Structure 1
Amino acid sequence: MTLLLLTAAIISGKAQQNIQFSQYVFNGLAVNPAYAGYKQDWYLNSIYRHQWAGFPGAPRTGGISIDGLTNAPESKVGIGLQAMFDRLGPQESLSLYASYAYRIPLDDEDTRRLCLGIGAGVSQYAIDGAALQYVDNDDQAIPTGKTSTWVPDARFGVYYYSSRFYAGVSVMDLFSLYSDATRYSWKGNNYAAIRKTQHMYLTTGTALTLSPNLILKPSLMIKEDFKGPTSVDLNAFLLIDEKIWIGGSYRTNMKLWNKENLSRDLTPANAASIMLEYYVNEKLRIGYAYDLNVNKMAGTQGGSHEISIGLLFPSKKYSLTNPRYF
């Protein structure tokens, strides 16, 4: 079968789900603009995800981000920049966002802060007709090549952290519910389903010392788009000798309240992940995650692979007295 079925599934929905990374705990800027500057040194992060390996038209996602303080260590302002691409069958999106976070100290030792963040950017949404195979070569509803549109967007977040705990809430794609649907039309056919819908993220986690060489870091993320099932990620990492992170994640789809479009027999199980993060030195981190679907798609694809690299640029004027576990 061709990619036609995949496209039909996408277009029949009201909007596209936001990008989901398994290693989001090492890429906080991707889910909350208030995270900008958290590490207090400049931090460069790159990530690539190949989802549902072996499945025709499977999602491929990649991105790069950088964030830090404007004038460490006295500055209360964190800034960040993030570029992301996402491809799913014949549809593509490319986005660029800038983030600003105002970081309010809550104690004299500077171990606790409340951060307020905003982000602004643009996204390009595209449909590539050349990626489709179809029966009628003269079908006027399908673009002969690639058609695209650019739309502005914004995001907002709040982030609190101490040396051993964090909690955050953010709303992404704020303008998605209000953008003009005619932007996504092609010869009278509407492709508004390719745009990402508004999402809210709730994140929290802590670091528990088990021994001088072992630290346990459990965390939770709830992702809500107000239309589809609520995504809940339960994560746990074990940090060994400040060098190796070994962890796992279990993702579920939940029906927390009545939603008209959800089936009554919704399967809660979604995916399970195993993750490994290795700190080559204090500056360089390399990570890998493998996701295995535990829902009805389990036998149709070969799982998902995700690779990430983080690079810290320590300031000559400042060194961290508290380790950054988040």
Structure 2
Amino acid sequence: MKNWSKIFLFLCLTGLFTGRAIAQQNIQFSQYIFNTLSVNPAYAGYKEEWFAQMAVRNQWVGIPGAPKTAQLSIDGILDPQTTKHGVGLQFTSDKLGPQSSNSATLNYAFRLQLDGADTRRLSFGLGVGVAQYGLNGNALTSVDGGDGSIPVGGSSRLSPDFRAGIFYTTPYWYVGLSALNLLNNSKSVDDYRRSSTIADNIVRTRHMYFVAGSLVNVSPDLRFRPSMMIREDFLGPTNADFNIMAIFSDKIWLGGGYRTSLKLFKKTYMNTDVTSQAALIGIAQFYVNERFRIGYSYDYALSGLNGYQSGTHELTIGIAFGKAPKSSICPRVF
């Protein structure tokens, strides 16, 4: 293949695809700290009010066919008095060169109150959904012509999605563990080669997520919120985000993060030329009022990819509506 193929293979080797032919790693957002629902269904209803968020991510600006992602989510509680049942709906659209994916997921969380003051909650979450994976064959050209693995025109397939998670929170710290794309089969490279078309292999790999964070009160007008996320697909490099935000008067959030790859245990990709990736992240969030916020982040690559692109931009907008939640020590911080 030529044209798109060079770009496509380049993105594969830089870590977006790792270990499995055309199987994708999950979509990543630098501002996951503002919407943990994107990686853990047990987060649904955490804010104890209805909350809607939109995120748009333009990754690796300057590289033709680089990932472009949009996500819309809404979550809240079904029982305002006891706040035991959280629910969330999430829509995601992603495009990378000739391939695309669209998904819808319904999430449910059962929230256990662990003390009389209701300062500690343990939530168990489940999510079910469906994803559509597509490939534009017109954007691919075979060297010899007549390659049967390249679809004529567009090709797409539907795949069910199932996810599960657990989330524990207190007024000053939280921790969560989740698994996404549980129904996707793990295939070997030989299995992919035997598939009839490239489109048959476009699925997302199973992922595990570990998230944790805390809140440090320095003064009435200044707080710090360190956090981390570790993402594992058991095939490619283990990815980790480390973030810290300074919160001024509960209105202005300024901070950043560092994304890197970790070698936690031996994997087959280590015998290939897939390299570790790293990036610096700058994040800002502003609360226009108590119920409406705007966030922006910029990723600066620290790898060889930096010479081919001019960074990654991400914009988020969040709005709370309905009845305001009961007062708490740190509302909406996590």
TM-score range (shorter-chain normalised) is over 0.9
Q: 1:289 to 1:133 in 2, by over 3 A?
A: farther
Distance 1:188 1:260 in 2: 25
Deviations 1:203-242 (A, max 9, x none): 0000001111100000011000000000011100000011
User: Whole-Å Cα distance in 1 between the matches of residues 18 and 255 of structure 2?
Assistant: 36
Match of 2:327 among 317, 320, 325: 320
Q: How far apart in 2 are the matches of 1:201 and 1:136? A: 42
User: What are the equivalent positions in structure 2 for 1:112-261 lying under 5 Å apart?
Assistant: 112-133=120-141, 135=143, 138-177=146-185, 188-261=196-269
Q: Which residue of 2 aligns with 1:111?
A: 119
Q: How does 1:47-126 map to 2 (within 5 A)?
A: 47-126=55-134
Change over 3 Å in CA distance of 1:271–1:160 after alignment to 2? same
Contact 1:271 1:292 in 2 (8 A): yes
Equivalent pair of 1:164/1:325 in contact (CA under 8 Å): no
User: Runs of at least 4 residues of structure 1 off by over 6 A?
Assistant: 184-187
Distance change (3 Å), C-alpha of 1:195 and 1:131 = same
1:193 Cα deviation from its structure 2 partner: 4.1
Alignment check: 8 A CA contact 1:221 1:233 kept:
yes
Q: What's 1:4 paired with? A: 5
Is there any run of 5+ residues in structure 2 with no aligned partner, and where?
Answer: none
TM (normalized to structure 1)? 0.92
Distance 1:294 1:204 in 2: 24
Q: CA deviation at 1:27?
A: 1.1
Contact 1:16 1:193 (C-alpha < 8 Å) held by counterparts: no
Aligned to 1:304: 312
Deviation string 1:9-29 (CA, Å, 9 cap, x unpaired) is 548951211001000010111
Aligned-residue offset at 1:321: 3.0
Q: Which amino acid aligns with 1:210?
A: V
Rounded Cα–Cα distance in structure 2 between residues aligned with 1:187 and 1:242: 53
| Percent identity of equivalent pairs | 44
Whether contact under 8 Å (1:4, 1:134) holds in the other structure is no
Counterpart residue type for residue 321 of structure 1: S
CA distance, structure 2, for counterparts of residue 262 and residue 193 of structure 1: 22
Q: CA RMSD in A?
A: 2.4
| Native 8 Å contact 1:143 1:186 kept in 2 | no
Distance 1:75 1:29 in 2: 17
The letter for the 2-side match of 1:103 is: R
Amino acid at match of 1:4: S
Q: Is the 8 A contact 1:62 1:85 kept in 2?
A: yes
- Structure 2-normalised TM-score? 0.90
Letter in 1 for 2:327: L
Letter in 2 for 1:152: P
**Corresponding pairs, count:** 323
Q: Distance in 2 between matches of 1:308 and 1:136?
A: 45
